[in-house]
Amino acid sequence: MKKVFLFVALAVFSLVGKVHADEGMWLPMFVERLNYVDMEKMGLQLTPEELYSINNSSLKDAIVGLSNGDRPRGFFCTGEIVSQNSLMFTNHHCGYSSIQKLSTVEHDYLTDGFWAKDFSEELPAEGVSASFLVRMEDVTERMLGAVNDTMDWTERNAAIDAAAKELEAAASEDGKYNPVVKGFFEGNEYYMFVYQVFTDVRLVGTPPSSIGKFGGDTDNWMWPRHTGDFSIFRVYADANGNPAPYSPENKPLTPKHHLPVSLDGIQKDDFTMIWGFPGTTERYMTSYGINYNVDIFYPIIHDIFKLQTDVMDEFMQKDASVNIMYADDKAGLANTWKNFEGQMIMLRKNKVAETKAELEAQFAAWVNANPNRVKEYGEVLQTLADSYALVSQISSSIYYPNYVAMTGPIGISAEFGQYAADAQSKDKEVAKAAAEALKEIDAEAFFAETYKPLEDKTLVEMLKLYYNTFDAEANPEFYKLVDKKYKGDVVALANDILENSIFATPESIKAFIEKPNAKKVEKDIAYQVYNAMVGQIVNSIVPYRLAMQSIDENNHLFVKGLREFYAEAQPEKSLYPDANSTLRMSYGSVQDYQPADAIHYDYICTANGILEKYVPDDYEFDVPQRLLDLIEARDFGQYADENGELVVCFLSTNDITGGNSGSPIMNSRGELIGLAFDGNWEAMSGDVNFEPNLQRTINVDARYVLFVIDKFAGATNLIEELTIVKTPKCCKEGTHECCKKEAEVETTTEE
């Protein structure tokens, strides 16, 4: 028997009208001062204290930062607590690494899914930690009190770091908490976030990847989207409710707050709110930084990562064990290169650099109108322009050789460079220590979780990419090697490394360790290529670092001035800081959009689209037969909308970025209506400039999540654990007598 609570709130009928996107990722501690009036006008029915409180249970206590280790300083994803036993929802792609590590060919949870029937079947997600925010605190005065105008940028950063460590140590209470001080507005403000970190996190359930990753890389960042992007974990604690390492004796944590899950669904213009840990935005980036990213940095990383994932795909589709082995690596690389591809296209298409240039012109005019401002800010934009110009000239000679130097036997050879130097030292103790250190090397570890044919082809393709990118002038040592020994055939060089290098196999490394010889390392072809790559980097690294330091320093100064400019020019405008992996909230509404002339995208997509996209045996668009049967039979149960359709995903105007993956999207009452998992292609420029007419968050609908758990997987034990809420139809209409009080009814779980 499960309880479905029917909630009524009369205020909603007088407050909700047509609402619009609200830009910004806001710090919850300022919600009452900066955001609450707007949120209430848009339909919010919670008080500021119910949203964020350090003294009482509040919505913030259900939001979890997901990371690795017990002292994280940032988070790769967000989760939310949805039961009194700390059941936690997050995205499938957030749990992907844990699911991959727990999978074997015999128990392939990536392919088949996994559903624990009770606590005893839940699987430890080793290395994953769940952080709950205890409080946040403004420490700007104390941090900036540690610096003065006589310090250069390096000295300033050292003083800031020292002050942060002192504050964090004092707030940790002898290790009970994990305090993290972070800078905002390019180091013009500082806040401390105090977390309680739980390291016993266990996998409870996940759909097969054909549901959780439906559409693969093809659909990534695209709308319409039909992905059931969710997975389920649980947070455990010791008998006293405190963080503890994994132990069979640990018990599910009793949370301070958990989110009810709503079956009401969504309508256009409904108020929406997302809380989570967005990773990085660059909303105050100048036009010079945008041009550098679009023309130089993004193309480099895109080409390298795309090459590597193409090679992975070739082998992963042929072998289940290889697919499991590389699934997490490939997902991360593919997500990055497609993100950069989208940003390259949309930053140009949406004319973001031009928009920033207009702001810079206004800023420059404001500066030039006052001699004191000229003295402080007069050179900042030109310095940024010059620094980015220098970085643009240098970056290729940093990034390409860096990634080649990390590849296969070339990267392994680097581990033996110190031995080669020390073993030839005139100091006998140094030479002896080098030989002893060599014996500690685990040759097998270099090749753990690797597939040789895939790794070998990656090496060949990476060397080809490098060789076709540079000429002899850029790296004389490398080209001299290729031309002299291999007659210009870089593939022959790659094959020589794979066939003859000491570092190509664990067996050859073990043999070398048994009879070490420093000269052999120096003459090894992989090590020679490594040194050639490092040589190219060394020739560029000093000016690169100086230019990047100049960019950091002048971004700090530019944002300082920009805040002053806005304070005078637009005093009514509230500025929000860039995302930096700290708890933020954003609010908006459910909305459709028009990406181009004569094209309109609805704000929902349904299970009908799964049938339309379905391609049997296709690794991106195949789905389990049971799901097909349920959809074709329209067996959606209580998870269907009022039209009898099963909504899979929906759009909202909330402002999010990477790190918000898995974040709860909630209605006006703080009830879970879905999980945020992606942005849309047309607004890929959104990390730099919010696009209100285009920018949308893609959310998996909570009803589809429950449908998969209940109807597809039959994991009714998890459904029973949730607090599921539904507003009676009469209450939605706002006229019936039943709306004068809250009602509670019980329904049986549908079989």
Active site residues: 93, 229, 661
Q: Are 439 and 486 in contact (CB under 8 A)?
A: no
The partner residues of 745 in beta bridges, in order of sequence, read 4
Joined tokens for residue 670 = 């703080």
Residue type, 347: L
String of b and e for 9-29 (b: at least 16 CB within 10 Å)?
beebeebbeebebbbbbbbbb
What is the C-alpha to C-alpha distance for residues 473 and 469, in angstroms, rounded to an integer?
12
Joined tokens for residue 38 = 């707007």
Q: ω before 224 within 30° of 0 (cis)?
A: yes
CA distances from 366 to 284, 285, 373, 565 (A): 17, 19, 8, 7
CA distances from 425 to 1, 440, 441 (A): 76, 20, 20
Q: Are 41 and 17 in contact (CB under 8 A)?
A: no
Residue type, 466: Y
Q: Are 550 and 152 in contact (CB under 8 A)?
A: no
401-406, long-range: CB < 8 A, 24+ apart? 401/466, 401/475, 401/532, 401/533, 401/534, 401/536, 401/537, 402/533, 402/537, 403/304, 403/462, 404/462, 404/463, 404/466, 404/529, 404/533, 405/530, 405/533, 405/534, 405/537
**How far apart are the two ends of the chain, measured CA to CA in Å?**
11
Residue type, 614: Y
What is the C-alpha to C-alpha distance for residues 43 and 40, in angstroms, rounded to an integer?
5
What is the C-alpha to C-alpha distance for residues 317 and 458, in angstroms, rounded to an integer?
16
Q: Count the residues in the chain.
A: 751
CA distances from 554 to 140, 280, 549 (A): 19, 19, 9
